[in-house]
Amino acid sequence: MQTKTERSVSPFNQELKLKGFNVFKIEEDSSATKIYSRKDFYKICLTTGKSIINYSDRSFEQEGTILFFGNPHIPYSWETISTSYVGYTCLFSEEFLNMSERSDSILKSPLFSFGGTPVLKLTEDQRLFLNSIFDKMIEEQYTDYSFKDELIRNYIHLILHEALKMQPSEKYEQHQSAASRLTNVFFELLERQFPIETADNPLQLRSPQDYADNLSVHVNYLNKSIKEVTGKSTSAHISERIVTEAKALLQHTNWNVSEIAYALGFDYPTYFNNYFKRLTGTTPKAIRSYRS
């Protein structure tokens, strides 16, 4: 099946994909995140406050100013504990960074690698210096300077090199159980599959085994952990999320049922119809008829 139908996404997400880069102040946006396709972008956060970051199979509890590095290939979740939380976020794609030999080696450094340490504790002097770099990037991204992308890439490299000179923070959160950490990154990986923006790139992860493989754990351990923490099975969470996305596609796109079924990973529309009816008690066509 071939189609080029695309789903409407947020203006921020469209702009980010077009430019391959965005930087913004967290305090201006009232949260540490925006809605964007995390599976496509690396992330650098400079934040001041108290938070718990679940990264792969580990958990970091941090207070004060930290520098965080997110890899789109490694699931992570972020729990903000402070009532006041400020800083900066920088998002960029591999393509934007121009994968030169220098850039490739940096992205394979411990800052972004699986098993590495993505959190660095900063002194006040380091915070002030990096604040100035983020401010320069924010200012530069809105100029008409012909070589601003190259200049912004240099700023990103400067941040990365400064980070590589620092000692990593190894303060792990000990009281959170392994099951809770695994459950958190499972939900992060689950959410990373959505929203579905095009009907010609079907959902890749649909079974507990798919998620276990991506998280490098045995499927029985994944199922046991999620059941222990949430009281529901891995399959139930996956099914509920697929149905939620199916309803959104039915109500907010003009894709036909066959396109939606394919996008959600079903080989045949009848499989999707039966799946949807079993979980919701109604049919996809009935849901579509409700939209105004």
Residue that wins the pLDDT comparison between 188 and 58: 188
> Which tokens belong to 80?
């903000």
pLDDT score for 102: 60
DSSP 172: B
236-263: pLDDT as tens digits: 999 999 998 899 889 888 899 999 999 9
State whether residue 62 is helix, strand or coil. Answer: strand
- Per-residue pLDDT at 44: 94
Give the per-residue pLDDT at 56. 62
- The DSSP bridge pattern shows strands 21-25 and 76-80 to be unpaired
Residue of 236 and 196 predicted with greater confidence: 236
Q: Where are the CATH 1.10.10.60 domain residues in the chain?
A: 185-290
CA gap 82, 49 in Å, rounded: 6
Of 150-159, 236-245, 281-290, the one with minimum mean pLDDT is 281-290
Query: Which CATH code fits 11-166?
Result: 2.60.120
Fold of 185-290: Arc Repressor Mutant, subunit A (1.10.10)
pTM of the entire predicted model:
0.57
Write down the pLDDT at residue 218: 95
Q: Does 286 score more than 80 pLDDT?
A: yes
Residues in the chain: 292
CA distance linking residue 283 with residue 243, whole number of Å: 11
Dihedrals φ, ψ of 23, to 5°? -135, 140
pLDDT for res 28: 46
Domain ranges in the chain with CATH number 2.60.120: 11-166
